[in-house]
Amino acid sequence: MRIASVIVAFTFSLTLFGNTEIVKIEVEGLGTSERNAIDLALTEAMGRVNGRSIESEVLSQTSETTKTEGDSFEYLGSEEYQNEIKSKTKGVVESYNLISSGKDSTGLYRVKLSVSVLKFKPSKSANRKRIAVLPLQARNNCCRVGATSINGDALGPELTAAVSAYLVQTRKFTVLDRAYEDQASSERDRLSGPNVPITELAKLGQSLVADYVLVGTINNIFLREQERKMSTVDRVIKSIQGNVAISYRIVDVPTGQVKFAETYNKRISGEIKNLDDPAQASLEAAQLTANNIGLKILEAIYPFVIESIDGDKVTIGTGGDVMQVGQQFRLIQYGEKVRDSYTKESLGKKETIIGMVEITEVTPKMSYAKIIDSSVQDLTSIFKPKSFIVRSIPESAKRNNNQKKQEDMRKKIEEEFDDGW
């Protein structure tokens, strides 16, 4: 019979080196013998410090070892026995102090220990939100370049890698993909081996798990060469036109709810220069969407908060490679929280579009913008922290704007030709 009762009295830590520290924890253990009580208490102490996955059967073998000194209070608190424990736990139990030992009214042995346990300290990046990016799947016959059908299964891994790369460079996420999961599984197997360094074994108790999971499907990639004849001149303009449609969802792992879902449609118009290699052209089309999908994911989880407004100058608490000078965003003011009428679940805050901003400067951690349009006068006087954000402009709005620009350019060219003629 194995019985263990552990009471955590206090803890404090002492940093050792790199990403490890010693945590001292005071516990009580209850067992069928003094050795059994100590072993079970030490096992529980390891679990309390490094997680339940660190527990193993190494100490159960200790309690079954027969030694003539094994039942003495002096031996169980001796350096010899502590070295035996340290060896069996591969150094995770640095040391312990046997404070008291004795039988209780039930005939079981109760011991009180002060245990020093080695703990792995995760890096700052391990505290970021963890998102698992699963390989995007492709629908049957999803992709075509001209008259050539493209194998969509070959595009999924490339697009998945591109989205993962974008999320990594935002420095907001720890990104886990399928390749990482396979590696992590083999790593756990390796860490259960007999000759494992102390710090590696301590890491075992703090395996990374995902906060979010990204799943998606390539619905359609279609490209073709289009010819357009100008109405007033004998000239034909050729360009690559097409469309990319990708559906994806972000699942909040702790709640099992969908955090964000979208079918992203991108109109291809001139970004791809030729269709000589259909497979390469379709890959380029897919990769054009990666940054936009990554941006949408980032906005869904970490909206771009405006930190200050001074006249027409805006400071945004996001910088680095996410922002680019010249980018335009919608300026949005938060309102009151909105709740589902039936479930009473929070649906987030009401968002009102009040204008547009354009990025003028980007630093590693922040970016600066100017307000180029606003329906609200004197934003400085009504500004409150976390009350304003910016969001990217939807592709549909961009297309309408681009079409207007192209039409204006076409008219200008024709007018200049007519004037010259």
Q: How many residues does the chain have?
A: 421
- What per-residue string of b and e applies to 349-381 under the rule 16 or more CB within 10 Å gives b? beeeebbbbebeebeeebbbbebeeeeeeebee
**pTM, whole model, 2 decimals?**
0.62
Q: What is the pLDDT of residue 49?
A: 77
User: What is the arithmetic mean of pLDDT over 330-346?
Assistant: 90
Bridge partners of residue 133, in order along the sequence: 177, 214
Terminal C-alpha separation, the chain: 103
The answer to whether the CB of 212 falls within 8 A of the CB of 251 is yes
pLDDT for position 214: 86
Nearest alpha-carbon partner for 269 in 290, 232, 238? 238
Using pLDDT thresholds of 50, 70 and 90, give the confidence band for residue 76: low
Helices (H), 270-394: 278-301, 379-382
Fold observed for domain 11-121: Dodecin subunit-like (3.30.1660)
* Phi, psi (deg, nearest 5) at residue 393: -80, 130
- Residue written as tokens 């220069």? 273
Angle among Cα 226, 227, 229 to the nearest 5 degrees reads 150
Amino acid identity, position 161: A
The answer to whether residues 288 and 339 touch, using CB atoms and an 8 Å cutoff, is no
Query: What gap in Å lies between CA 272 and CA 240, rounded to an integer?
Result: 6
Contact 176, 131 (CB under 8 A): yes
Q: Which amino acid is at 100?
A: S
63 vs 3: CA distance, rounded Å: 13
Poorest-confidence range of 73-77, 170-174, 241-245?
73-77
Q: Which of 25-34, 169-178, 212-221, 348-357 has the highest mean pLDDT?
A: 348-357
Average pLDDT along the chain: 77
pLDDT over threshold 50, residue 138: yes
CA angle at 373 for the pair 372 and 378, rounded to the nearest 5°? 100
Mean pLDDT within 100-123:
84
Question: Is 209's pLDDT higher than 90?
Answer: no
Q: What are the residue ranges spanned by the domains of the chain?
A: 11-121, 122-302, 304-395
- Burial of residue 412 (CB within 10 Å: 0-12, 13-18, 19+) is exposed
pLDDT, one tens digit per residue, over 211-231 is 888 888 999 999 988 877 766
Q: Identify which has the larger pLDDT, 255 or 130.
A: 130
Encoding tokens for residue 71? 């039942």
CB-based burial of residue 276 (10 Å sphere; 0-12 exposed, 13-18 middle, 19+ buried)?
Answer: exposed
**∠ Cα 386 390 394 (to 5°):** 145
Instruction: Please state which CATH class domain 122-302 belongs to.
Output: alpha beta
**Positive or negative: CA dihedral 169, 170, 173, 177:** negative
Residue 61's pLDDT is 47
pLDDT at 66: 37
Q: Is pLDDT at 107 greater than 80 in this prediction?
A: yes
256-270, 291-305, 315-329, 365-379: least confident range: 256-270
Q: Check if the beta carbon of residue 94 is closer than 8 Å to that of residue 86.
A: yes
- Band of residue 124 on the pLDDT scale cut at 50, 70, 90: low
* Class of the domain covering 304-395: mainly beta
Question: How does residue 72 score in pLDDT terms, banded at 50, 70 and 90?
Answer: low
